[in-house]
Amino acid sequence: MAYKIIVCAKQVPDTNEIKTNPETGTLIRDGVPSILNNDDANALEEALKIKDAFPGTTITVITMGPPQATEMLQECLAMGADDAILLSDRALGGSDTWATSNAISAGIAKVGEYDIIFAGRQAIDGDTAQVGPQIAEKLGIPQVSYVKEFAIDGNEITVKRALEDGYELIKLQTPCLLTAIKELNTPRYMYIKGIYKAMKHDIKVWNAADIGVDLTTVGLKASPTNVFKSFTPKPKGAGQKVAGDTDKELAVNLLVGLKEKNII
């Protein structure tokens, strides 16, 4: 059996490298590298493993973003994806998760048939973890989020869904959407032949008209959530030294302080 797989991937700034300007409360993005979102690399890796096991399987990576997101798509092709689509249009800019999922699900509908959609659980910039489930809702398909183990047999998928204190073992049928967490696998590197292939590959770029999305459901203006203010936490000054003459007094005074402030 061969499968048709779609992977949703986002290009994100490496948030480990980001600095903030406390004066203006803004991010300093200069010189911060853009990367394939971490969980999305796990999403793509799982698709590639299926392709390894079931030759004939095809993987299409889809992203919504500015033109430079093609760099990330090229990386996905070099890892082994078969096709890549960039949804790019000013009309899509400023979308919240509701509007983002409207655009991406319209893009997926244009791609056509699929058995499995993989997304990452969470993007490291927006940090909402909402887009995966919301795409599934727009497409009317079942979802499992926080997937940490995956197996497929014909049309039946068995996954482990991570919980805070264990996991759920879940069975479902294709088509469906799964969101990947880092425990799912270890992403592979690009390979030389893949890089060469990726350079020659045409990345499809679709605008809002191409995907036929209703313009009243995408972009900043259509988004139900708005950023009202954004800022950085005040850098904290030195705290207090704990008083006490003996080691026991020091320990007791620390615990009283932590308890008083509801920290423990």
Partner 1 sequence: MAINFDDVKNIWVYAEQRHGKLMNVALELIGEGYRLSREMPEGTKVCGVLIGAEEDVKPLEAELFAYGADEVYTLASPLLKNYTTDGYTKVLFDAIEDIKPEIVIFGATHIGRDLAPRVAARLNTGLTADCTRLDIDMNNYINFLEAKTTCNTKGLTPDDPKKALLKQTRPAFGGNLMATIITPRTRPTMSTVRPGVMKKREKDESLTGTAIDVKVNLTEADIRTQVVEVVKAAKELVSLTDAEIICSGGRGLGGPEGFNLIREFAEKVGGVVGSSRAAVDAGWIDHSHQVGQTGTTVKPKIYFACGISGAIQHLAGMQTSDCIVAINKDPDAPIFEVADYGIVGDLYKVIPQIIAEWDNADALLAAAQK
Ligand X SMILES: Cc1cc2nc3c(=O)[nH]c(=O)nc-3n(C[C@H](O)[C@H](O)[C@H](O)COP(=O)(O)OP(=O)(O)OC[C@H]3O[C@@H](n4cnc5c(N)ncnc54)[C@H](O)[C@@H]3O)c2cc1C
By CB under 8 A, the residues from 168 to 197 that bind partner 1 are 168-173, 176
Q: Binding residue for partner 1 (CB under 8 A) from 3, 118, 146, 150?
A: 146
Cβ contacts of residue 28 below 8 Å, gap of 6+? 18, 19, 20, 21
Residues forming contacts to ligand X in the complex (CB under 6 A) are 8-10, 37, 39-40, 43, 63-65, 95-98, 100, 104, 119-120, 122-123, 125-132, 225, 227, 230
Closest to 70 measured CA to CA, from 80, 58, 60, 84: 84
Region from 10-18, 44-52, 58-66, 106-114 binding partner 1, contact rule CB under 8 A = 10-18
Could you give the CA distance from residue 189 to residue 208 in angstroms, rounded to a whole number? Answer: 32
Q: Are the CB atoms for 68 and 34 separated by under 8 Å?
A: yes
Look up residue 193 and give its two tokens: 């032949």
Which CB, 8 or 198, lies closer to partner 1? 8
Q: Binding residue for partner 1 (CB under 8 A) from 162, 184, 198, 208?
A: 162
- Residue 155 found at the interface with partner 1 (CB under 8 A): no
In 3-state terms, what secondary structure has residue 256? helix
Q: Binding residue for partner 1 (CB under 8 A) from 98, 114, 118, 150?
A: 98
My answer on whether omega of the bond before 175 falls inside 30° of 0, hence cis, is yes
Which CB, 200 or 226, lies closer to partner 1? 226
**Least distance to ligand X from the beta carbon of 130, Å?**
4
Segment 221-250, which members bind partner 1 (CB under 8 A)?
A: 223-234, 236, 238-242, 244, 247-248, 250
Segment 21-80, which members bind partner 1 (CB under 8 A)?
A: 22-25, 27
Could you give the CA distance from residue 160 to residue 200 in angstroms, rounded to a whole number? Answer: 38
Residue 25: which of partner 1, ligand X, none does it interact with, CB under 5 to 8 A by kind? partner 1
Residue 216: which of partner 1, ligand X, none does it interact with, CB under 5 to 8 A by kind? none
Listing DSSP states for 87-132 in one string gives: E--GGGTT--HHHHHHHHHHHHHHH---SEEEEES--TTT----HH
Q: Given phi > 0 = left and psi -120 to 50 = alpha, else beta, which region is 244?
A: left
Segment 123-142, which members bind partner 1 (CB under 8 A)?
A: 124-134, 136-138, 142
